Structure 1
Amino acid sequence: MKGSTLKHGISLRTLIRKSADLSGPCLLVVGDRQGAVFGGLLECPLKPTPKRKYQGTNQTFVFTTIYGEPRLFRPTGANRYYYMCLNDLLAFGGGGNFALCLDGDLLSGTSGACDTFGNLCLAHNEDFELKNVELWGFSHVSQHLT
């Protein structure tokens, strides 16, 4: 694990800075105050863009634990809106809503159904307060991710 709001304070800029030590696929794991755990796979290091420009590949996915068991939502092929990283916003998916969107202070976020992943809301509510944010890197990349 590289970055955690419990250890490193709360800011997307801090998370972006900590992601520089990671390379390849990373798992963003977030939680809401009702106990949901959700997030998505993205590429590290995180590279914020000045404009709303999507990044990622069809390996990107989002997940949640609120439907009784972990649910993974992979790209549907509807678009290529995998994820977007700005200095004050990190968002997965597009078309309808963001599957997951975190604000720059990592205090709150939104989640809704989106065309990119064909997902349901990942959190207990579409607007939520974040309890924790972690970014996990992998030291051995599985052959299934290539």
Structure 2
Amino acid sequence: MDLTIQGSTVRHGISLRTLIRKSAELSGPCLLITGDNQGAIFGGLLECPLKPTAKRKYQGTNQSFVFTTLYGEPRLFRPTGVNRYFYLCLNDLLALGGGGSFALCLDGELLTGSSGACETFGNLCLAHDEEFELKNVELWGFTHASRYLT
């Protein structure tokens, strides 16, 4: 299994709409990776392509998770089973988790975000502060190498 980058604010500009458009090139799970200006790296696993909804309708499956490097080593938070609030995708917001706070919420310009404890993943704050400036946002897709492809 290989990872390929589909969207990056460094390579493709700062816009959630661009990230959503680039995600259309993926057909399976993708890893959203971002970080704050103080050095924490965090994100989560989503299904792709990302599909914005007109109303706040959660998407995803219990295969989703969030992670952070804030606590000294990578720490993964899997669904607790309390709810099915895996992720929201709107044209101006991408949020993972729910119940209490979002585990991770990114604004439409991919400049700022927030993180807090949420019931979906039973996580702690993923960043140094609950409100933060984003350092970079990347969306990595999983590709499967096959011996049948030439």
TM score, norm. by length of structure 1:
0.95
Shift of residue 97, structure 1, vs aligned partner:
0.2
| Structure 1 consecutive aligned stretches of length 4 or more whose deviation exceeds 4 Å | none
Identity %: 82
1:129 maps to a residue whose letter is E
Query: Whole-Å Cα distance in 2 between the matches of residues 63 and 40 of structure 1?
Result: 6
Residue 8 (structure 1) aligns with? 12
| CA displacement 1:62-119 (0-9 Å, x = unmatched) | 0000100000000000000000000000000101000000000000000000000000
Matches within 5 A, 1:55-94: 55-94=59-98
Partner of 1:134: 138
Aligned mate of 1:121, from 116, 125, 144: 125
Matched to 2:114, the amino acid is T
Aligned-partner SS, 1:2 = strand
Aligned to 1:97: 101
Structure 2: how far apart are the matches of 1:98 and 1:139? 28
In structure 2, the partner of 1:144 is: none
Given residue 139 of structure 2, which amino acid in structure 1 is its aligned partner? L
Give the Å deviation of 1:140.
Answer: 2.1
Partner of 1:41: 45
> Which runs of 5 or more residues in structure 1 are unaligned?
142-146
Q: Is 1:26 the counterpart of 2:66 in the alignment? A: no
Q: Work out which of the two has the higher radius of gyration on C-alpha atoms and give 1 or 2.
A: 2
Q: Aligned partners of 2:132, 2:77: CA distance in 1, in Å?
A: 20
TM-score by length of 2: 0.93
The 1-side partners of 2:7 and 2:119 are apart by 29
Give, as a single letter, the amino acid of the residue that structure 2 aligns with 1:60.
S
Q: Distance in 2 between matches of 1:139 and 1:124?
A: 32
Q: Unaligned regions of 5+ residues in structure 2, if any?
A: 146-150
> Does residue 50 of structure 1 match 2:54?
yes
**Which whole-Å CA distance do the structure 2 matches of 1:90 and 1:62 have between them?**
13
For the aligned residue pairs, the C-alpha RMSD in angstroms reads 0.9
